[in-house]
Structure 1
Amino acid sequence: MLSVHSSFPFILVQFYFTILFITAHSFSHEAFCGEKCGNFHIPFPFYMNQSICNSSLSDDFRLSCINSTSPFLNIASQSYRVLHFFSDGVLVDFPNTTYCRQYNDLKSFGFNGNDYFGISRDNILGLYDCEDSSLCKPDCEKSIMPHCDGSPGRNSYPPCCYPLSDRSAWSADQRDGFFVFSQFGCRGFSSWVDISGNQIGKRGVKLEWAVPGNSTTPTCAANADIINATTVASGIRCECQDGYVGDGFAVGVGCLKSCIKEGKEAYGKACYSTSHGRRKTKILAGVVTSALTITSLTALFCLLRRPMKTDIFDHPSMRRSQGNVSFQKPSTIRMFTYHELEQATKGFQDAQILIDHGGGKATLYSGALMDGSRIAVHRLQCDSERELVEVLSRVEALHAVSHKNIPHILGWSVDSGYTPLVVYEYPVNGTLGEHLFQTKDETKRGLDWHHRTNIVAETANVLAFLQSEICPPIVHHELNASCIFLDEDMTVKLFGLELPTNDKKHSDVYNLGLVLLEVITGSSSDHVPSKTALQKITSGKVEEIVDPRLYYHEQPILRREQIEIVADLATRCIIFGCQNGKFHMGDVSRELVHITKDGIDGRSRRCPSTNNLEETFSNSSLLQMISMSPDSIHVPAARGFS
């Protein structure tokens, strides 16, 4: 028996000290992305075009950087140069202007609001050639309208001043925009806002930003309050409570604790008391201690168990697969940040889900890193510290094994509590289920028999290896066609191995039997129930359930016999797969290797175990067994048996 634990304790200690480091620095995020355009630092939720630093709030916050000096905001097919960022808005220039004008036409600023932006009430207007002076408000003249160069100069007060906060002639839902002032005989206007209480304003139009407040997922982070927008209908923003700093959004930096330490402002971990730090250290020490204890006991168990185990891979039919397995020396694995993977998966959107086990317990997402490389991200939800230790132990064990059918682990992230994220290379050819079952993707419709048998043989081989040659054994428990991914040359990459479960009813042999039936029928067990398929097989009517795309009656005798042998094997997997000592994954793997080898050699040869099945049960007696309830023949109430 091979063991991955010779260097495992050292690796696991190193890994948990990495957790300690990450947790200790979890409050040190100073900025969401740190992007710049010219002299502008891009604040959340805005982000640059072509950037992986998408805020996940909306594409409306995407900016472009023209000539690397000025950011531009694109709204409703119109581009606006950004002049200044506020915590609640952005100051933009008039569109299509190449130089500063003292005043602009009332129709020159056509935008009047959408779901993410509205014209802020902080704007102060200078109106020109107005026929009705009742519109003018003297109290706004305390703010001086700047010249184009920003200086006050002389005659800096406009003939008519109107603050949008007055609302007597202006409303946030104004459909006509600034053209509404034509009703007062005005022919032109300029706009500016106060900057930090400075008497001299800054030219431009301030747009308030917000996000829709009807989201089904939490928008604001912990220790943040919801702020209702004033000019964006049903819009909200998030603001950190007193004592905290940050953008306040769950997908941003969030809210970091703020305090004064030694006369200087500090935030994050520096603000937490020593007792809190000791408590956190104790918790982490408990995790590390638990991990080391489990690892040590596991290693001892493996050493004691080794002489008692027969190597199933010594069988002649299995030796050719030994070249697919190796054990790696301890290596440095990449540590991803949560935000990196969140951005790569577009905020873990449902559209990115590849497989989902247990209603979100273990979900695999597709994604793309900043360099364009595609990845698969497995999000594993742990319910306790003990379960987290077990998951991380499994991940490290899988990382230590280099097997052609185990997906390569690129790295992981552990800065999201009890929800570790494991990053894999992306298998480009989708899943076995996508190829077998009818899909909209024309490139993934059907597989020939050669590919089908190779895929299930590789699947059985890697499962037999993990269950018989790895200590402690790794059992899948949730095997189905959606977990069997395929790379560019149709080699199996088996996903879903990391998460341990206490559910022992689901036998891998039994589940592989269901997969074998799906390979034969080309349909999921929901469409062709296993009980129906088994009755057809045992009554000698296999051809009635064979996938029409395999053209059973047009196949040579050898191929038809292979289909019948696989059907017999599927039957035994389902009948005996859950009875201890009756049928193991190593047995299944050897038979499937025989079948694929026979296909290459061009000869037909039924396996001895198949003949034993025919000698032990007549068709009628086996049919009687299948007609019984699942419990009476020790078949679990699992998927597909109906």
Structure 2
Amino acid sequence: MSNSLVHLHLFPLIALLVILKFSLCFSASLEWYDDCGKYFSCGNVTKVGFPFWGSESRPKNCGYPGLELGCEGNATITLGIMGMKYRVLDINQNTQMLTIAREDFWEGICLQRFVNTTLNFELFEYGPGLQNVTVLYGCPSPYASVPGQFTCKMNDLNDTTAFPEQGALGPSGCNASVVVPVVDPLVDQIGNVSLDQVINHGFRAKYKVDSFCIECEGSRGRCGFDLNENKTSCLCPDGSVGHTKCYNNNNKDYASPGDQHWHLAAKLVPFSLSLLLKTSLNMELSAPSFCVIMLITVFPLFRLQKSANAYTEYETCSRPFQCGSINNTQYPFYDGYVRPEYCGYPGFRINCSSPVPQISVTSSENYYVVCIKEELRVVTVARKDYWDGYCPNGLSNTTINVTLFEYYAPTFANLTLYYECLDTSYPRNQFQCGNISSEAPVGYFVGNMTSAFEDGIPLGTCKRNVIVPFIKYQSNTDRITDILSLMQAFRTGFDLEWKAENNLCDACTASGGACGHNTTTGNFACYCFDRPYDSTCPEKDRHKGILIGVVAGGVGLAAALFVCASLFIAQRRRQLLSHTRSKDLGPGTPITAFLSSNGFQSSKGFTTTPSTDLSRSIPSYPSSKSDLENASAYFGVKVFTCNELEEATMNFDESRELGDGGFGTVYYGVLHDGSLVAVKRLYENSCKRMGQFMNEIQILAHLRHKNLVTLYGCSSRKSRELLLVYEYVPNGTVADHLHGKLAESCDLSWSTRLSIAVQTADALAYLHESDVIHRDVKTTNILLGDNFQVKVADFGLSRLFPSDVSHVSTAPQGTPGYVDPEYYHCYQLTEKSDVFSFGVVLMELISAKPAVDITRHRHDINLSNMAIDRIRNHALHELVDPKLGYDKDCVVQKMVKLVAELGFKCLQPDRETRPSMHEVLESLREIEKEVMNTQKQVVVDIQETDDEAGLLKNVTPPLSPESRDE
């Protein structure tokens, strides 16, 4: 079949696929917009909108995942928080304030479970005017005279004394306690008004919502929640999804995702028409281009292999894994590495990297996993703070997430530890904790309250107590007689029964499936041979579907590859024949041909025909006709043989390793002429690596800047190794000096760090002026030469394209901690992505902290989040590297504030509000100039100046988040 006939058949199919895809996108977006325009109403509370959702009126993607409202009897609104059910008494959406009361107290003051009141502080904060009241249960006779007492039946005991006490900790000696927030004026009324009336009056909690929702709704948008991206979205009337608000369709600076989709389709149609035109003129299409189009059209055939992928999921979730010393770990547990998230259940991620596995059974604390009893659905855990001793840094009772766990009744018992006891006359069950109280260091431990009072242990003099669950046989005081047996009991832990759709999992495994969950919806999933199901695998021949899918997909793929290979071989032969008749092209031709073949045209000098601007940007390596014919130059750079580079690096000896990155290892090398080089060896010679290999050469071949690493050469594309040869930069990376192997031996002064920032910004601004986006800006890619001269490196992820082309990538790449958050939302690549990454680099220079550190608090794991939080809360001093002398040097303090303010602008979530790289560079140069001027104008006058602020003359910096408050 001729090429013209192929193109004529392919064109309508391509057009049909494009129309189908984008029409489906629009219909889904418009349905989402309509759904989120509806309100939740129940009883006296009406018209409740974002961030709440619930019932059929407002689906899950119209509110935050943790703010689902229920309606009972069309009169009572309920809300679940941290596994606790609350009754919603009022919702004020103007002040973002809820009035809620605990459902268990509403049913009666004598509780079945004793659980303190806790909120999810990612979604809520306590309202003003509240005090904690502790309700104490099972108190002994010494407290019988306390006012406000009442009686409750507890477990196997008869009526026992109970009473409320103001504060979060009441007197010790009672079996159980529950802390409840109460409105201030009602605290003093306890005793005059019944306790249940006081508690059921409720308390106020403020819910948190993205501030941009006001802007979104003001632009005729509706706030929703993207469950795939796990972030808030602005839904627009035209079916598009905005970043912070909806824009007028006449606004040329804004293109909705729908506009972008149709823009791409509009680009594709002329492209296809041009192919038809070429065919009509008897111009042959290249083999790679034909292969791309053909693979697009046969893609539906490859979807038949979906069943094979499902079988892989089934196999993965069917296999248990080993976590530390625990064997045969299965659902609902997962580690996210050996066992992927979809094979577990939300909330059951287990950390296997530590010597003893860890799991979170509350929202904030990890517990050690002692063992897992699969047949009982019981996990035995132990408190980390009591693992190595009985005197932790902070005293707190044991709490669990009651949505996922409950105490295992057959083995459950409590052990109480009493601290700060004044009466030390009783010698048994005694321990000492000087770190908690030096004045009253003595404490007691008891496993049975009744026997403790019968034995005369003076617990009434103890100020504080902590209840720790234990396995029942370990809580017997006859067994725990000394500190050693107490420590053994701590490490034995206690049993928790897990709740992870247990009944569904039983049904799934009985039908031959493997238990897991859908990571998109969060619902249970039963992975079967052919595909995932909601509950069980159907009764049918499961293997038949697999076989059909694999065979059909394999045949289609083999046919496509055969045609591609045939076309490629034929075209290659024609190229070789034409190459022998071609004239000498010179080193600039390849990059020009590359730009021309991709239709690039820019206002900055890159055109589809050779220009003087482009010629100046291409390196002028010495070359000759014989060099080109012998393939000794590629895109204008020298081509080395693998043997040359193996000899230069001592056969890639480990002692020559300089670093290890995401795409390859870099080695130190010495060429025949004595030149020192750095050789990057890509991990594998695959299509993906070949693309990165060619991309980096194409980028660096036409760029020259003092702060960009110089590419000396590369290996041939046909060689067994993909190797890139750079200039050798001897002084490590910025990351090494800030928080790596060189951090202790070499402190970077503030002036040096500022110089590094200026040089890096200069290099990035040059790249952006040349229509290049780096896409992987980070401190490990900023090399330092002699005198700390910056060399920006690693262009494997970079992109070269003109400024009037909107590039969309559906495969986000980069390094965690540096990636533009908007990139995950819209998949659109702009130079503002580099600006965000550079903002993270600025914060690293200020703080000497890595961009990502999982040992920090979960809200501070990403340095960008940590920096924004500290600057907003006027706590910049908590972020600054102590080595800079921020508190002592007022010049450094002012300059750090200015750079922090600039970094704050770079880290804005909306890329439109970020400055350009050129503006960042100019700001840094102004700051650097101000440093020099300030140092010249510092005047030390001992007789006239008492305040160190008087040392600064004529310095008027712009307001930073810190200085603005001052």
Shared fold, TM over 0.5: no
Bin for the TM-score computed over the shorter chain:
0.3 to 0.5
When normalised by structure 1's length, the TM-score is 0.43
When normalised by structure 2's length, the TM-score is 0.29
Which protein, 1 or 2, shows the higher relative CO under an 8 Å CA cutoff with sep ≥ 6? 1
